[in-house]
Structure 1
Amino acid sequence: MTTANKTNSTPLGVEEILPQIPDCDVELADIGRVTKKDSNDPYLVAFAEPFDAECPRTWSNGKKWTVTDVLSATGFNRIMLSTIMAPALPVIAKELHMSSTESVMALSAYMLATAFGPLVFGPLSEIYGRAPTLHVSNIWFLIWNLVCGFANTKGLLIASRLLAGLGASAVYSLAGGVLGDIWTPEQRGKTLGVYLLIPLLGCAVGPIIGGFMAGTSTWRWIFWSTSAFQAVMTVASFLAFHETYAPVILRRKAARIRRETGDERYRTAEERLIGKRSLTQVLSKGLSRPIRLLAFNHIIQITALVSAVEYGLLYIVLTTLSILYQDLYRESVDISGLHYLAPCLGELVGSQIGGPLMSTIFKRLKRRENGAMRPEFHIPILLPGAIIAASGFLLYGWAAHFRTYWLVVDLGVFLAAFGGQVSGMPEQAYVIDSFPEYTSSATAASQFVRSLTAFGFPLFAPTFYAALGYGWGNTLLGFLALAIFVPTPIVIWMYGPKLRANARGIF
């Protein structure tokens, strides 16, 4: 991009910006407002045109995948910790004298923290950068996860799980931001599929690992072993993770030029827009952005609702599956944990089919529109994914109700996880492409609601199934999913462009 002063004050929508300016400019676009450029301003610090080695969108694929893989591996450990305790809950409850509700609280406190953490980490990554936010959260998470392994009271275990969850939560807001920083919309499906491969594996195999650790050793190794892995990933992130947020990269570039030249007139577009705002003003506006998006932006409200229902249903499955097999099928703790291979495979297959399929559909719709791109092009696969997920819940519930062969139950769980993943990916891609400048804040707003359901749904799941049984209980859950998911792609497709155009003033 050329150095240019933004002099025309007419705001443009994202779909108007993309044909006019290079990809990297979308990261600066607007910082509230995108306007026409004046190429005669020598003091505006921007990326060089047409390619700049510092621009994240023009990095080599090797560098992009290195950053993506580091974040993905970090997410594996953090997300695995959300479910790894599930099979060990009876053992932990007995040793620490916890009621069943208190033991579930120890599991769910982690997810409660992931609701509030992104509201802070997301905006901070847009102020100070993705890399510092990742490093600080890595260290914080490592400390408190280690404390979990030494907890000798139920209060300490619940509190340390909550604090560990705060550190783990950064990855939920960073992932969307980083992927949006370095990959183009056409690559969104493929890169989401590859990125999610490892974290989804962690989410599902966590209970398998936890079950065998609790059954053959002590549940404390759940936390000691994952802390050792986290220490390795913390070192790896310092060595291999590069800053990806374009405004932060440009601010550093401008500061370097000012030091070298002694000329204070060199400024980025963002610095000129912010002007002489105090740090307090910058932080207050940045930290309040996710809440403002959730309160006033209809796109975030719609996608957050879909994501919340999907996530809540997934965590009902993940927190009750082992209990189902222990209670109804009389299996041991470690053997019951093996059934988590079903949701694991469902999510993995869903991500690897859904991602490329989403990219293929996006490219076809783009060609049909003569090269024009809209975030709505990601949405079509949401509906079939929802139907598959609802069907899976019905099969899972009634198979468990009649105590059929365990493989039928696992097939239902597989379909529920597969469909949930296929329907969840377009929602994530849509948020990333609808908010290119503030992806982390937008993701944090959505994550807030989904983490609350992941925290809350498992708390009432035992009572819910006790009252309705697995058959009617899962029937109700399946129809709830259909009631939320079926209208969503229709609403987004018809009204998405208008909602995005009306959302510009919220930032």
Structure 2
Amino acid sequence: MAPVPASIPAPTQKVEDPYLVAFDPSFDVDNPKDWPSGRKWAVTDVLSATGFNRIMVSTIMAPALSTIAHELHMSSTEAVMALSIYLLATAFGPLVIGPLSEVYGRKTILHASNVWFLVWNIVCGFAKTKEVLVAARFLAGFGASSIYALAGGVLGDVWRPEQRGRSLGMYMLIPLLGAAVGPIIGGFMAFRTTWRWMFWSTSIFQAVMIAVSFTAFHETYAPTILTRRAAKLRKDTGDQRYYSEHERKIVDRSLISILGQALTRPIRLLAFHPVVQITGVISAISYGILYIVLATFASLWTKQYQQSVEISGLHYIAVALGEVAGMQIGAPIMDRYYRRMQARHPDGELAPEHRIPLSFPGAFIAAIGFIIYGWTAQYGVHWIAVDVGIFIASFGMQFAGMALQAYTMDTYSDHTSSALAATQFLRSMTAFLFPLFAPDMYNVMGYGWGNTAIGLLRLICGFAPLALWFWGAKLRKRIQSTE
């Protein structure tokens, strides 16, 4: 971080100060929200493609677990651990990466995490022992987790609230496919070549994305952009009185103090902010349920339906299509609903709570989907019925989840990355833990009652956002400051 000039005025300085460097409120070419659409979409697409690869790597091992376990002398539990520990890393990574992006900017952190992920993903492909594989998977997951922390922050930097649905819909289109496409690709690779190509091929793709991101990704974090503009003005004019709002906030503070405040912000949000707690728990349960499906779906087809590993992977297409449909249908509905509410409140800023009602339909749809999925699988009904059930369940979860993510982004517009890092911690923990007990649950309860229980759990969670609808505004006023 560049040193802060000692001549920066104290925080009591008036906003009208001619030396305060800020964006022109009417239009500013450097303001990410005023960028041309082409540049906005370039940044969004880079994140989307990077997210696809990192999320795909989280599930690509699933069809090959038995093969990897045999070659590296792993027990079934150790094999599942090699798959799930990647997700454990994505719980802790955002807690560091998200706040750092609010200190050093999004671009620097994205590039650093890209390289980190590439190195450790390559190591996974060359692992000769189970210990190396598990350790490398954890470290690769730590680097991959930056996408969870950065994506929401970058989208919040670039797109305005009335464009939230469209930007989320386009960004998530490719990464949503990653979680489901991973097992499909992994299934074919496990059957036709060595499992190591799962990591080598994704590393090649990651290397390409690093090259693209260095050319197409621009800094989007407003405080970083304005701080650099102020520094340039000081250098060009020789006048040390130019400063940005961010510099004024951290004047006379050491780097250790700044980093300490930033790095503890997600934990403070999670510990003291009911908004983050409620949205985080709901999102975590949904995410954990999704990974129960992803971890057990292939075994349903190989054991219950006696299908090959290759064919079992193709059923993940139903999961992907459900998520994509939920996002692509939900996105325009979200934006139209937001604009309608804006028209009804022309004199003031629209409260984030207006995002909440769109989460309720998805909860009901998801519950219905899981009941269909469970009982058709239980009685061995034709595979299309099972896929229809999981399609409906995925659709509902994605439809509901998008509304809550938009609510979090609107509520914490200044620290979106930290807020999403806090919720991602809970999401990744459930994604890591839920699949560990899923086989025992299905063995005891069967697919019918097991998925009925999951559907009812998702339905109960669907009512939790009512607390935000009724008391969200009061909670936002009472929350402890993160500054």
TM-score range relative to shorter protein: over 0.9
Q: Once superposed, which parts of structure 1, at least 4 consecutive aligned residues long, lie more than 3 Å away?
A: 5-9
Name the structure 1 match of 2:4.
none
- Distance in 2, matches of 1:494 and 1:37, equals 37
Decide which of 307, 329, 332 is 2:308's aligned counterpart: 332
Pair 1:305 & 2:281 matched: yes
Tell me the SS of whatever aligns to 1:506.
Answer: coil
1:477 partner amino acid: I
Deviates more, 1:301-310 or 1:262-271: 262-271
Decide which of 478, 482, 496 is 2:455's aligned counterpart: 478
Pair 1:145 & 2:121 matched: yes
Name the structure 2 match of 1:384.
361
Decide which of 178, 194, 204 is 2:170's aligned counterpart: 194
Tell me the SS of whatever aligns to 1:277.
Answer: coil
2:414 partner amino acid: E
Trace 1:320-469 onto structure 2 (pairs within 5 A): 320-370=296-346, 372=348, 373-469=350-446
Task: Provide the aligned length of Structure 1 versus Structure 2.
Answer: 475
Trace 1:73-222 onto structure 2 (pairs within 5 A): 73-222=49-198
Contact 1:382 1:485 survives alignment (8 Å): yes
Trace 1:258-273 onto structure 2 (pairs within 5 A): 258-273=234-249
Contact 2:59 2:182 survives alignment (8 Å): yes
Q: What is the aligned-residue RMSD (CA, Å)?
A: 1.5
Name the structure 1 match of 2:269.
293
Deviation at 1:6, TM superposition (A): 10
Deviation at 1:466, TM superposition (A): 1.0
Tell me the SS of whatever aligns to 1:381.
Answer: helix
Contact 2:50 2:206 survives alignment (8 Å): yes
- Distance in 2, matches of 1:95 and 1:63, equals 47
Deviation at 1:245, TM superposition (A): 0.2
Tell me the SS of whatever aligns to 1:505.
Answer: coil
1:163 partner amino acid: L
Deviation at 1:48, TM superposition (A): 2.8
C-alpha offsets along residues 325-374 of structure 1, whole Å, 9 cap, x if unaligned? 11111111111000001101000111100111111111111112235311
Contact 1:7 1:37 survives alignment (8 Å): no
1:464 partner amino acid: M
Q: 1:45 to 1:219 in 2, by over 3 A?
A: same
Gaps of 5+ in 2: 1-7
1:368 partner amino acid: R
Decide which of 468, 471, 475 is 1:499's aligned counterpart: 475
Deviates more, 1:387-396 or 1:287-296: 387-396
C-alpha offsets along residues 248-278 of structure 1, whole Å, 9 cap, x if unaligned? 0011111111111222221111111211100
- Distance in 2, matches of 1:332 and 1:37, equals 70
Deviation at 1:491, TM superposition (A): 1.4
Deviation at 1:93, TM superposition (A): 1.2
1:452 partner amino acid: M
Gaps of 5+ in 1: 10-35
Deviates more, 1:117-126 or 1:254-263: 254-263
Contact 1:351 1:421 survives alignment (8 Å): yes
Q: Percent identity?
A: 59
- Distance in 2, matches of 1:37 and 1:184, equals 27
- Distance in 2, matches of 1:152 and 1:225, equals 18
Decide which of 202, 212, 215 is 1:239's aligned counterpart: 215
C-alpha offsets along residues 6-25 of structure 1, whole Å, 9 cap, x if unaligned? 9998xxxxxxxxxxxxxxxx
- Distance in 2, matches of 1:271 and 1:129, equals 14
TM-score, normalization by structure 1: 0.92
Contact 2:162 2:339 survives alignment (8 Å): yes
